[in-house]
Every structure is written in structure tokens, then in C-alpha cells.
Amino acid sequence: MAAVLTLVAGQALAVTSIKNTKHDLSSTSTGATNVKSSNYEEICIFCHTPHKAVDQLNAPLWNRSGTDSISISRYYNSATLDTASRQTAVSAKIAVSDVKLCLSCHDGASLTNGLANPSNLEGGAQPAGLVELGSVAATVPANIGTDLHDDHPIGMVYNTIYSNNTAEWVQNPVASIKFYDGGVMWCSSCHDVHDNTAAPFLATSNVASGLCLSCHKK
């Protein structure tokens, strides 16, 4: 009973945090303006379903179709990039990270993919009113496409980078930064999709570059 109550409480907190944010794509949302449903009042259904979920890696009860076919066209690169962060070292780790889950909305093309399990409240019909992010505007910050060369690198093992740098430009991160699968940096290392307390959905506040300085020290 205690475990059930804990789970329900956690779900309630998630809904409370996401409601009326840009991640709330329901028809009643006041946070999502250009991209939201015209008839679905449910909030969680645009990513999750309790039944008939897609078997998607790292996605609990995933409800978005076409996610697995998303691929990254270009990776971050720099002359000063640590060897452990280059494409040859990180591409395999990125492929099994959460990046495809994020890009299923943020690639500017996949948002209109159907839900695996549409709402029974709407007779099992797909949600109306959702538009492709790219059709809103290519310059909208939420539309990052599949070209990640101009975005913070992911897929690298943080401890490897830390041990490779004796200079004090990188330090052990604070507890708010999460690493996965043996210390790998994912999108959700810096972002919490269910909580916009530190906008835009950051794991911790970036006031005075607080989030950046959790890892970087110059």
C-alpha cells in the first residue's frame, strides 16, 4: 500500500509540475500556444500510456510512434573537444540514450506522428490540432532539428573527461546533474521534462550560470 501511494503521489507531482507549461499539449493548456491538441484534455497521453505502449528503450510506457526511426544527422565537434567526446566515441552511447525521446517532439518533424494508444475518451481517435514544429517556425527555440552540431555534446562518459583534464576547467558535478549507464551524459542530465521550476525545464537553476558551473569551472 505504501509503495502504491508513493507512486500515485509521484505521478500527481509530475502532472502538477507539467500542467500549463509548454510540455502540456492538452487542449486546456495555457503554456503551450502554437503546439497543442484541439480536443484532448489529457496531459500525460502525449508521451505515455498505461496500456499498449511502444517498446522503446529508456521510455516508460512510451506512447509516441516513429521514435525509433529518428537519427542524428550531425554531432557537436570542436578542435578543443576531448577525444572521449568525439562522434566516434559517443555515437553508440547516444543511440541508447534519451535523445530520440526528446527529438520525437523537438526535431521539428515528428510531433505529428500518431500516438500508439489514442485516448478512449475520444473514441480512440488521434488528437486533432497538433502541428509540426517546423511549420510553426524554424527559428522557434524548441525546434532543434536532428543536427546537433550547435548543441551541448552528450553521450560522453563524464568521469573519463574529468580524469583526462588536470586543469580546473571541469569539476565533479553537484547532485542535481544526473548521469546514466556508467556516467554518460544524456539530455536529461541538464533537463527535467516534468518540472519547469527552473525554466526551460532545467535540472537546477542557471542563475549566474549555476547549472553550467555544476560541471564547468573556469
Instruction: Give residue-wise pLDDT tens across range 1-56.
Output: 454 444 444 444 455 589 999 999 999 999 987 789 999 999 999 999 999 999 99
pLDDT at 171: 61
pLDDT at 174: 58
Question: Is residue 29 exposed (0-12), middle (13-18) or buried (19+ Cβ within 10 Å)?
Answer: buried
pLDDT at 1: 46
With contact defined as beta carbons under 8 Å apart, do 66 and 55 qualify?
no
pLDDT at 168: 53
Instruction: Give residue-wise pLDDT tens across range 98-151.
Output: 999 999 999 988 988 999 999 999 999 999 988 887 777 777 888 999 999 999
- For the segment 146-173, the average pLDDT, to the nearest whole number, is 77
Q: What angle is formed at CA 138 by the lines to CA 135 and CA 140, rounded to 5 degrees? A: 100
Q: Pseudo-torsion of CA 85, 206, 186, 196, nearest 10°?
A: -160
